[in-house]
Amino acid sequence: MTSYFSLPDIFKNWQYSIIVSLLLLISILLYELRSLKKELNVFVPKKSDKKIIQKLLKELDLDSFHDDIYEQNSWYGFKKEAISKSISFIYKARLIKNKVTDKKLQILINNFTDKLNEFHEYSSVNLYGRDNYLVPNKDNLNENRNLVQQETKEMNRLAKESFVKLETLVEYAKNNEYL
C-alpha cells in the first residue's frame, strides 16, 4: 500500500526536512518580532499621567527648587517660598500615590518624594525663620560653630541627593513624552 504513495524529495531526506522546518520557524518568528516591535514603539503616555506629572512639577517650580534649594548653601538659609513649594509638592504627591499608571514613573516620584521628605525632616529641626528665609541657628556661633557646620553640610548633602532624584524623574518624564 505504501508503494502507491511517494513522498516529495523534501520529506525523503531528513536533512532537507529539518532545514525547511527551521526556515518556516524563523520566518514566523521574524514576522512576530516585527509586529511586536511596532506595538512596543507605539508607547504613548496616558493623558491622566501627563496631567499629574505636569501639575506636580508646576507645584514644585523646578527653577525655584534649583536656584533656592539645590544651589543655595544652607549656611545662608533657604527661601521660605521654595521650602513651602516643596512641602506642597510632597503633600500632593502623597495624595496621588498609586494613581499614576506608569509604574516606573510612580517609583521615581516616590523616590524623589522620600528623599525630599528626608531633607525636610532634617532641616525642620535645624532651620529657623527670619524674614523670608529659613536659616540655621547661629546664636552662640562661637560655641556651636562645629555643630552648625555639620548641620549645614548634612542639609546640603540631602538637598543635592534630592536634586539628583528630581533630575532622574524629569529625564524619564521628558524621554517618555510626559513633559
Query: What is the full DSSP assignment across 99-168?
Result: --S-HHHHHHHHHHHHHHHHHHHHHHHHEEEETTEEEE--TTHHHHHHHHHHHHHHHHHHHHHHHHHHHH
CA–CA distance from 137 to each of 71, 79, 82, 122 (Å)? 20, 15, 19, 13
Instruction: Please check whether residues 36 and 53 belong to one and the same domain.
Output: no
pLDDT on residue 1: 44
Residue 4 within a domain: no
pLDDT-derived band at 117 (thresholds 50, 70, 90) equals: very high
pLDDT given at position 74: 77
Q: What is the mean pLDDT of the chain?
A: 82
User: What percent of the chain clears pLDDT 90, i.e. is strictly above it?
Assistant: 23
pLDDT attached to residue 108: 92
Same-domain check for residues 76 and 28: no
- Domains in the chain, number: 2
Same domain, 87 and 17: no
Instruction: Encode 50-117 in three state secondary structure.
Output: HHHHHHHHHHHCHHHHHHHHHCCCCCCCEEHHHHHHHHHHHHHHHHCCCCCCCHHHHHHHHHHHHHHH
Prediction pTM value: 0.70
Q: Say if residue 71 is in the same domain as residue 134.
A: yes
Residue 135 lies in a domain: yes
Shared domain for 29 and 107, answered yes or no, is no
Give domain status of residue 3, yes or no.
no
The domain in which residue 128 lies consists of: 47-176
User: Which of these ranges, 28-32, 46-50, 107-111, 127-131, has the smallest mean pLDDT?
Assistant: 127-131
Q: 37 pLDDT exceeds 50?
A: yes
As a whole number, mean pLDDT of residues 140-151 equals: 73
**Position with higher pLDDT, 9 vs 146:** 146
Q: 96, 52 in Cβ contact below 8 A? A: yes
Residue 99 lies in a domain: yes
Using the predicted structure, report yes or no on whether residue 98 has a pLDDT greater than 50. Answer: yes
Give every strand in the sheet of 78-79, ordered side by side: 78-79, 133-136, 127-130
85 within domain boundaries = yes
> Average pLDDT in the 138-147 region?
68
Instruction: Give 39-88 pLDDT, tens digit per residue.
Output: 665 567 788 888 888 898 899 888 888 888 888 887 777 888 888 898 89
pLDDT of residue 133: 62
